[in-house]
Homo-oligomer: A and B are copies of this chain.
Amino acid sequence: MTDNVQLLGISNAIVDVLAHVDHELIEKIGVVPGSMNLIDERRAHEIYEMMGPATEMSGGSVANTIAGFANLGGRASYIGRVRDDQLGEIFNHDMRSLGIDVRLQPAPDGAPTARSHVMITEDGQRTMNTYLGACTELGVADIRAETFGKPKAVLIEGYVWDIAEGPALARKAMELAANTRTTVALSLSDSFCVERHRESFAEAVRDGVQIVIADEDEINVLMGTDNFDDTLEAIRDFDNLFVMTRSDKGSVIIRPGEQHVQEATPVEKVIDTTGAGDAYCAGFLYGWVHDKSLAECARAGTLCATAVIQQVGARIEKGVLD
């Protein structure tokens, strides 16, 4: 099979259920404000019952990046598992409607489509409780030459390691990528996720992954340091390309013998920081698949992140780089 896909995403396919809540509710539920927690179906129902009226929209970290990449004009494909239920139809519709080649059919059985209960407090902070549902049944068998294709790059998210066959299917993707000369990018998802899977991530970064995409907290945990300076020292031992975002401190791009520091763009008013990292990743990889210099990629990433924090919602709109 040949295709002209520039970027394949492999990630958890999730519908966000967003509601504004008081801090008291976060306390009552008993989770750390700003954290992402994995919950089972029973607890998902419990938490949903405690939440007020919500709005539903397609989400998921790398899925947001792929949607953004497609909105920039990139040719994208996607592997993620949904059930053949209404939320699964919504998720796949939203991806396909951007021209993304959705590679898996909705599953006819198993757990329902994943949802993340996103609780937004007055300070704009988001606390997430995610029921992975159908995502947990994504398996090695879903990553085949036919579904993988021959993309220029594949982006896998760290959260994939949270599902039973996750590490194995990520390994399978890296094997296929080696055959098709596809660049493998790994997004580290969140620092708790890195803590959960540090050894396995480190092994993948040493063997199979070419581009590591992370924010400051995530890369520090991966490198086992407690500050960014020590991290910069530690990554000298690696021959990967590291793309590291630091919120208002901008971003740092490093590969052996090369380093770029990209300033953040000051904005008048931050509306919603959700998806800033995912948007940066979309812009960076859009530049990257077009063989732009690292400095140009970093600028494209910054443009996308700057756009997304000035809007409500995590997915960038068309025309951000025009």
Contact = CB atoms under 8 A, between A and B. Distances in A.
Interface stretch (A93-101, A152-160, A196-204): A93-101
A315 interface: yes
Contact of A93 (B48, B97, B112): B48
Contacts of A315: 53
Contact of A53 (B51, B85, B94): B94
A87 interface: yes
A53 B98 contact: yes
Interface string A72-87: 0000000000000111
A264 interface: no
A54 interface: yes
A90 B52 contact: no
A55 interface: yes
A268 interface: no
A58 B19 CA distance: 13
Contacts of A112: 86
Given A86-B87, A112-B86, A93 B49 contact: yes
A138 interface: no
Interface string A92-121: 011001100000000000001100000000
A148 to B, nearest CB: 25
A268 to B, nearest CB: 17
A56 B52 CA distance: 15
A235 interface: no
A58 B56 CA distance: 9
Residue from A53, A54, A97, A113 having most chain B Cβ neighbours under 10 A: A53
Contacts of A67: 53
Contacts of A49: 93, 97
Contact of A58 (B53, B57, B113): B53
B56 A98 contact: no
Residue from A48, A56, A87, A98 having most chain B Cβ neighbours under 10 A: A56
A303 to B, nearest CB: 20
Interface of A: 48-49, 51-58, 67, 85-87, 90, 93-94, 97-98, 112-113, 315
Nearest first, the 3 closest Cβ-Cβ pairs linking A and B are A56-B56, A53-B94, A86-B86
Given A53-B57, A53-B97, 15 more contacts: A51-B97, A52-B97, A53-B58, A53-B67, A53-B315, A54-B90, A55-B55, A55-B56, A55-B57, A56-B56, A56-B57, A56-B90, A86-B87, A86-B112, A86-B113
